[in-house]
Chain A
C-alpha cells in the first residue's frame, strides 16, 4: 500500500461503485477532482473512502459550498489520507437551487458538521442528515444566503437599516 495518484483513486472508486456513478477525472494541475453523480451513493462512498485499506481518506481538509451562478450549487470536499499515505483528491457534488439537498457526511467525518452548517448558512445547501443544521455565522433570523450570486441584502434587520 502506498501513495496513489488521482487516476488510481478514481479507478478504485469506479470499480467499487460502477463507472456511471462518478464523472470522469478532471486531472487539473491545481486540484484533481471528480464529481459524484448519484447522490444516494455519496454516504456509502464517503464511508468507503474513509475505511478502505487502499484509500484511507481519514482527514476532510475543507468543505466549500459554491454557487456556480447558473442555477447549480455545489459542495467541494478536499480529502486527504493523513495518517496513512498522504494522497489527496477533491470530490464535488452538485445540486440545483430548487432541489438543494446533498447527503450529509457529518457522521463519517465529524469536522463536516460545522463545515456543512457554514455552507448551509452562506450558500443555502441543505445537508440531509446533519445532526444540527443551524446557521453558524449569520444570526438565526437572517434572511437569504449571502454567498448566492443573486443575493440581495434585506432592508431592515430588527429595525436596523442594513444596506449602507
Chain B
C-alpha cells in the first residue's frame, strides 16, 4: 500500500507513532471560471463579472460591460444642445437631475451666461432631493443584496414622497428634462416649497429609523465591516469619487472643493467615516457615508427654502437662450452626483448648434474600474457586498 501511494506526489504517509500512519492528501485545486451576471440581481443591471475562483475565493475578477451601451456620445453629436439634456437623464437614471445639471453647466460655461439667482436655488433643491432619492435606492438595494428585505420597503415608501414631489413639479417621476440651459422647465407650483419643508421635517426621523433598522443591524455590520478595504491613495489613483472616495477618508466633495451654483453660500459638512463603527475604506464606510449624506442634503434643502428669493412674476424661461450657438471652445464641467464626479467634456466648433464632441465622464464607470482590485482574495459572497457598496448604475457605466 505504501509503495503505491508514493507514486502520487499529492499523497504522502507520515509516521505519527511506532506503527501508526496518517495518509495525507493534498487535494489538487483547480481554478474555476464563474460568470456573475449579466442577469444577476446583485449586479444591479446588466453587468457581467467574470470570476476566476479557487474554491470559494476569488482570484481574479474581470468586469465586462457594454450590454446597455446606447451610444450617448454619438447621439449627442447629432443633436442640438437642448436636445441632449433628455439623453443625459437616461445615463444615470437614478440621479437624472444631477446629471442634467452637470451638462447644463458645461453649456452655460461655453455660452458664458449667468442664470437668475432663484433658478440656482431651484436647481439645488431638486438636485438635493434627487440625491436623497438616489441614496435611498443605493442603501435599500444594498440591504437587499446582503439579505435585509424589510428596510427596502421602508425606504421605498419614503422615496415615493420625493418622486411625487418631482412629478408634481415637472410631470415625470424619474427622467425629468427639468434643468434647461439658462433656466428650468417649470416654476415651482404654489405651496411646493411648503410641501418640501414638510417632507424635510417628516423625513429626518425616518432616516434615524432607517439607520436603526439597517445600519446598526449586527448581521449587516458582520457582512460589510472590513470587506473590500480601499486605501485612500489607491482610491485617488483609480479616480474614484463620491462616496467611494469619502468612504476611504478623503474629504473631497466638488460642492466644497470646486464649488458651483450656490453651494458656497450653504452650510453643510463633507461626511467621512470616523472609524468607530467601520474600518476606514471598507464597504460599511461607503454605506455610512451615503446614510449621513442624507442628513446633509436635508440640511441643504432647508437652507435653500429659507434663503430662496420670492418672486410672484418669476419666469423660469427668462434667461433661456432661444438658439444655443456657443463660440468655438472647449470645456470640462462637472458636478457632484450621488455616485461621484460626473463631468462633461464638450467641444463647440462655433459653427453650429450641435456639440462637436461631447464626452461624458461617468462616475460609476470609473468607480467600477476598482472592482478587480477590491474583489481579489475575497469570498464570492463578499463580491456581492463589495459590488453593492460601489453602487453602480449600469446606464451610466455603459452610457
Closest residue on chain A to residue B71 by CB atoms: A146
Asked if residues A61 and B334 are in contact (CB atoms below 8 Å), the reply is yes
From A65, A67, A78, give the contact of B332 (CB < 8 A): A78
Cβ < 8 Å to B, chain A residues 126-150 = 135-139, 146-147
Across the interface, do B345 and A137 meet the contact criterion of CB distance under 8 Å? no
Q: What residues on B are CB-neighbors of A78 within 8 Å?
A: 332, 343, 345, 361
Contact A59 B239 (CB under 8 A): yes
Number of B residues, CB within 8 Å of A: 39
Within 8 A of B (CB), among A63-110: 64-67, 69, 76, 78, 82-83, 86, 90, 109-110
Judged by DSSP, the binding face of B is mixed
With an 8 Å Cβ cutoff, the count of chain A residues facing the other chain is 36
Residues of B within 8 A of A146 (CB): 71, 74
Are A30 and B329 in touch, CB under 8 angstroms? yes
Number of A-B contacts (CB under 8 A): 93
Q: Which of A64, A83, A137 contacts B359 (CB 8 A)?
A: A64
Q: Is B12 positioned at the interface, with any CB of A under 8 Å from its CB? A: no
User: A31-B332, A62-B332 known; A114 and B361 CB under 8 Å?
Assistant: no
Given contacts A137-B398, A138-B66, contact A147 B73 (CB under 8 A): yes
Is B252 in the interface zone, CB < 8 Å from A?
A: yes
- Return the chain B residue nearest A135 by Cβ: B66
Pair A82/B236 contact, Cβ less than 8 Å: yes
Give residues of chain A (27-43) contacting chain B, Cβ–Cβ below 8 Å. Answer: 28-31, 33
- A66 to B332 alpha-carbon distance, docked (Å): 14
Identify the 6 closest CB pairs spanning chains A and B, nearest first.
A111-B239, A30-B331, A64-B359, A62-B361, A114-B369, A137-B69
17 new A-B pairs (CB below 8 Å) besides A82-B236, A83-B232, A114-B365? A31-B330, A33-B330, A62-B343, A66-B347, A66-B357, A76-B345, A78-B332, A82-B250, A83-B250, A86-B257, A111-B237, A114-B366, A115-B366, A118-B365, A146-B74, A147-B74, A147-B77
Provide 27 A-B residue pairs closer than 8 Å at the C-beta atoms, listed in order of the A residue.
Answer: A30-B109, A30-B330, A31-B329, A31-B331, A33-B330, A60-B239, A61-B239, A61-B341, A61-B343, A64-B345, A64-B357, A64-B361, A66-B357, A66-B359, A78-B345, A82-B250, A82-B252, A83-B236, A86-B258, A90-B332, A110-B369, A114-B369, A115-B366, A135-B66, A137-B69, A139-B66, A146-B71
Residues in chain B within 8 A of chain A (CB atoms): 65-66, 69, 71, 73-74, 77, 109-110, 112, 232-234, 236-239, 250, 252, 257-258, 329-332, 334, 341, 343, 345, 347, 356-357, 359, 361, 365-366, 369, 398-399
